[in-house]
Amino acid sequence: MSFVNAAPQALLGAAGDLSGIGSVIGDANAAAAAQTTAVQAAGADEVSAAIAALFGAHGQAYQALSAQAATFHDQFVQLMNAGAAQYAGAEAANTNPLQPVFDAINAPTEALLNRPLIGNGTDGTAASPNGQDGGLLFGNGGNGYSPTSDGSSGGNGGSAGLLGNGGSGGNGAAGIAGGGGSGGAGGHGGWLFGTGGGGGNGGAATTAVAGFNGGSGGSGGDAGLFGAAGAGGTGGDANGGNTGTVTVQAGSGGAGGNAGLLGDGGAGGHGGASRTAVQSGGNGGAGGSGGHGGLLIGSGGDGAGGGNADTTDGSGGNGGSAGLLFGTAANGGDAGTGGNTGGVGGNGGAAGLFGAGGIGGEAFGSVAHAGNGGAGGMIWGVGGAGGDASGTTMVAGNGGSAGLLGSGGMGGSASGTGATGGNGGNGGTLAGDGGSGGSQFNGGGANSHGGNGGNGGFLDGNGGNGGSTVAGGITSTGGNGGNAGAIGNGGKGGDSGTQQFQGVAGHGGNAWLIGNGGNGGDSGAKNPHGTAGYAGTGGLWYGQNGQPGQLV
């Protein structure tokens, strides 16, 4: 079966064009009629008279045919106009033939609850910024209004009823004579099925005045029993100025919405930035945390990164946890970069019954902590790795521990003077290897530390190796090796670097019943020399002691 599409406005336009063409042709025929219907003879002879009569008759015949053609043309134009009117009328009649039925159905609930039973909620306006809720039975929530006036906040999205999607939050307006407006929150998805609405973005603060902060991003809407949650909005930027004396705060990203029974959590919104060409007093906004996955099945939403700044970087958001049965735990967001003081990395999300924990977010700058790895599945799964840290006196994230069965996550690595590697996560309660401690691998300097290795599982599991520190500093400490379970070897102690002054290497981990002890870490031999690590003891039933560390 074939279908015909009609555009009434296009038909009306074509009819008008044809009418204009007919008028032009009619005017031309009328102007030529006098000269072509009564042609003057060239002479008084009979031949000239006959020729003039022939041409005159031809002109008269042309005028008669032109009149008939003009009549047909006018009728054709009238038919086109009538057809366009009929098409337009049919479209108007079929626009919503069930609207009277909907009005009758919705009247009782609108009178009692000020909400329809069926139908979408209306979008927000300048007078009423929040989107209206959708129908109790079926319908999407209306979107929040995005204002343009100075620093006004966006409207919240409307929520759905039983079935439908939540409305998106409106964006906050940029601030000129004040801070930026906050983004509106996304509406909730349908109770049974539907996605949550995304949060609106925060408005930027464009003027470098203390207290003129960027607007926060709106949180994402939660989902119903089935459906994905909405993502959080991005935080607004802030203008730190170029004098180094203005303290402003960029907006935080909105948190992602949580899923219900089956569905993924929403991602967090990125934190706003506060950066200029010249170092200033701006602070970055924190990244929003990711939403949790569905109770049974669903992945967590990723934590968002913190905003970049010149003074204090924004912290990363935490990753959302996964559903109990299936789903992926989300990673924590990285902290912002560029500030004198680093932000904190977000923690990785935890797995459900099965699966790996999320990875911790990284951190940069100085005097800050990277995110810890998320816990592995309660029955089976490895712990998430700790986030890496880069900068002076930074601390890397610890690895996540496993549940009943599984290996612990590795501790994050550290880079910079006086930095500390993260501890490895413990292996599963019953069985699993401990995670390795993170090493301090760059920068040297005093008071650097390697992370301790995680312990192995109770019945079976090797201890994780301790993290090492690099050569070139003093009083650096290697991480201790983790202890083994009933069956397994102890982890090796971390080295305190070669040629270091007074460094202390990590000790080897102990075995329990069956297994070898871990070797001690090596330390520097330069005078005054460091301290090598002790060897771990072998198993009570079977196993050998580890080798003590050496001065190298």
What confidence tens digit (pLDDT) does each residue in 259-274 have? 888 888 888 888 777 7
Backbone angles phi, psi at 389, to 5 degrees: -125, 140
- Of 346, 365, 397, the residue at which a domain comes to its end is 346
The verdict on 337 and 423 lying in the same domain is: no
Question: What is residue 451's predicted lDDT score, i.e. its pLDDT?
Answer: 94
Per-residue DSSP letter, 420:
B
Question: What is residue 277's predicted lDDT score, i.e. its pLDDT?
Answer: 41
Structurally, how many domains does the chain consist of?
3
- The residue-averaged pLDDT of 93-119 equals 76
**C-beta of residue 218 within 8 angstroms of C-beta of residue 254:** yes
* 108 upstream amide cis, omega within 30 of 0: no
Question: What is residue 114's predicted lDDT score, i.e. its pLDDT?
Answer: 82
Evaluate if residue 340 carries a pLDDT over 60: no
The verdict on 513 and 398 lying in the same domain is: yes
Least confident of 43-57, 89-103, 450-464: 89-103
The verdict on 325 and 230 lying in the same domain is: yes
The verdict on 317 and 169 lying in the same domain is: yes
Per the domain annotation, does 52 fall within a domain?
A: yes
- Of 87, 117, 151, the residue at which a domain comes to its end is 87
Residues in the chain: 552
The verdict on 180 and 267 lying in the same domain is: yes
Per the domain annotation, does 3 fall within a domain?
A: no
Evaluate if residue 242 carries a pLDDT over 50: no
> Confidence band (pLDDT; 50, 70, 90) for 200?
very high
The verdict on 333 and 229 lying in the same domain is: yes
Q: Which residue has the higher pLDDT, 488 or 6?
A: 488
The verdict on 58 and 178 lying in the same domain is: no
Per the domain annotation, does 54 fall within a domain?
A: yes
The verdict on 328 and 417 lying in the same domain is: no
The CA distance from 485 to 264, in Å, is 36
Per the domain annotation, does 390 fall within a domain?
A: yes
C-beta atoms surrounding 50 within 10 Å: 10
Evaluate if residue 346 carries a pLDDT over 90: no
| Range(s) of the domain holding residue 299 | 136-346
Question: What is residue 296's predicted lDDT score, i.e. its pLDDT?
Answer: 83
What confidence tens digit (pLDDT) does each residue in 298-317 have? 888 888 776 665 666 667 78
Evaluate if residue 172 carries a pLDDT over 80: yes
**C-beta of residue 419 within 8 angstroms of C-beta of residue 392:** yes
Per the domain annotation, does 411 fall within a domain?
A: yes
The verdict on 436 and 511 lying in the same domain is: yes
- The residue-averaged pLDDT of 328-357 equals 75
Question: What is residue 187's predicted lDDT score, i.e. its pLDDT?
Answer: 94
- The residue-averaged pLDDT of 282-291 equals 69
**C-beta of residue 492 within 8 angstroms of C-beta of residue 465:** yes
- The residue-averaged pLDDT of 400-405 equals 93
The verdict on 263 and 387 lying in the same domain is: no
Per the domain annotation, does 356 fall within a domain?
A: no
The verdict on 405 and 540 lying in the same domain is: yes
Q: Which residue has the higher pLDDT, 34 or 387?
A: 387
Evaluate if residue 58 carries a pLDDT over 90: no
Least confident of 65-69, 311-315, 338-342, 512-516: 338-342
Evaluate if residue 492 carries a pLDDT over 50: yes
Backbone angles phi, psi at 211, to 5 degrees: 90, -10
Per the domain annotation, does 125 fall within a domain?
A: no
Q: DSSP string covering 102-132, please?
A: HHHHHHHHHHHHSS-SBSPPPPP-SSS-SPP
Evaluate if residue 552 carries a pLDDT over 50: yes
The CA distance from 164 to 18, in Å, is 48
Per the domain annotation, does 529 fall within a domain?
A: yes
Question: What is residue 237's predicted lDDT score, i.e. its pLDDT?
Answer: 67
The verdict on 341 and 425 lying in the same domain is: no
Q: Are strands 281-283 and 247-249 parallel, antiparallel or unpaired?
A: parallel
> Confidence band (pLDDT; 50, 70, 90) for 443?
low
Evaluate if residue 352 carries a pLDDT over 80: yes
- The residue-averaged pLDDT of 116-131 equals 91
Please, what is the average pLDDT of the chain? 82
